[in-house]
Amino acid sequence: MAGSEKTGPNLTRRRMLLAGAAAAAGFGYWWQRRQPPDHDYPRLTAAQAFVQAQAGEIILVDIRTPREWRASGVPAGSHQIDMRREDFIDALQAVAGPDLAAPVALICARGVRSARITLKLAEAGYTNVIDVPEGMLGSAAGMGWIAGNLPVARWNG
């Protein structure tokens, strides 16, 4: 009996340590997936993106999902292209034209996906990709489009 009493608590401690380690690893993965990748490409605040899109200086592309567009609306003056589309580049070229130097600014919810797609477009040869890291909902980069009281249009998809 004494041996089983000793094994029981040790086994429980071991399980608790393993469970804690698994939880920490899971949290680490979750946290890392929600951090925008670092890049050296230009960035705009949501307000700057709005002004430049209205002036025709940039092509503002909302890369979120239709569900997100429905829930919060879309930035006024933006083009909506779901980043998950298999033909994302073709859809982007339909909006921005074939010139890979066209100024394309990307916005998502909180700046993580826009940073990732900024890097992907640069890999695809785009030379004037701009990230809007505040996103629609705000991030560490700033308050975001909605909290900044910038115009939002209803998505009609």
Percent of the chain at pLDDT > 70 equals 78
Going by pLDDT thresholds of 50, 70 and 90, the confidence category of residue 96 is very high
Distance, CA of 95 to chain centre = 20
Average of per-residue pLDDT across 114-119: 95
Distance, CA of 125 to chain centre = 20
Structure tokens of 138? 């705000």
**Secondary structure (3-state) at 80:** strand
Distances (CA, A) of 102 to 34, 74, 98: 28, 22, 8
**Secondary structure (3-state) at 44:** coil
Helices (H), the chain: 2-33, 46-54, 66-72, 88-96, 112-123, 144-147
Tell me yes or no: is domain 46-153 CATH 3.40.250.10: yes
pLDDT score at 33: 53
Measured distance CA(100)–CA(44) in Å, rounded: 19
Going by pLDDT thresholds of 50, 70 and 90, the confidence category of residue 12 is confident
Determine if the pTM surpasses 0.75: yes
Helices (H), 39-111: 46-54, 66-72, 88-96
**24-79 confidence digits (pLDDT tens):** 555 454 445 556 668 889 999 999 999 999 999 999 999 999 999 999 999 999 99
Nearest residue to 117 (alpha-carbon basis) of 148, 151, 85: 85
